[in-house]
Amino acid sequence: MRFRLGLAAIALVLTACGNSQAAAPADTPEATETSAAATAANFGAPVDLGGGVTVTISAPAAFKPGDFASNYLPGQLADLFTIEVKNGGKAALDLSTVAFSATTGGNFCTDLLDGDNGINGAPTDPVAIGGSISFKYAIACDAKAGDPLELGIAFGDINAALKGTLA
């Protein structure tokens, strides 16, 4: 299912720059193309969104949200990702034009904000031509480790979905 997020909502989805965390997946999830223009990739490999824009998303890593995390309820499973966006395009990239979503077993996961773990909202400055930015993205799901995960990326008319399992 595809949806777009405005700048205010994307601030809840993405975080400020810094602190890369790599996670070793138990398996190698595959990406599927949901648009002919999207390039299939695995978690940890660049996804070509066209126009010189690529997004690389780390494998999901389990984490414990802080006491003041938003959009998280005790008993939910929380997973963390590091996202890197590279802008090889011809204009600065407004990150509000790139949207992320997550589902597990047909149920939507919520986007998580957690200042205690450095998940503070979207970078608000555009990504310069030839520039890149890394930030943390986290989700909370009514699921358990090992359940199927589909992480969607939407950019213009391009949609891609990385498939794997929750950590």
Taking 3-state DSSP, the helix, strand and coil percentages for the chain, each rounded to the nearest 5, stand at 10, 40, 50
Domains in the chain, please, with CATH? 7-21+29-165 (2.60.40.1240)
* pLDDT of amino acid 26: 36
Query: Could you report the per-residue pLDDT of 80-121, keeping only the tens digit for each?
Result: 999 999 999 999 999 988 999 999 988 999 999 999 999 986
Query: Could you report the per-residue pLDDT of 8-57, keeping only the tens digit for each?
Result: 333 333 333 333 333 333 333 344 444 444 445 589 999 999 999 999 99
Q: How buried is 150 (Cβ within 10 angstroms: 0-12 exposed, 13-18 middle, 19+ buried)?
A: buried
Half-sphere exposure of residue 98: CA atoms within 13 angstroms, side-chain side:
29
Spatial CB neighbours of 149, under 8 Å, sequence gap ≥ 6: 29, 60, 79, 102, 103, 104, 163, 164, 165, 166
pTM equals 0.76
Rg (alpha carbons) of the chain, rounded to whole number: 15
* pLDDT of amino acid 41: 58
Which among 19-23, 57-61, 155-159 has the top mean pLDDT? 57-61
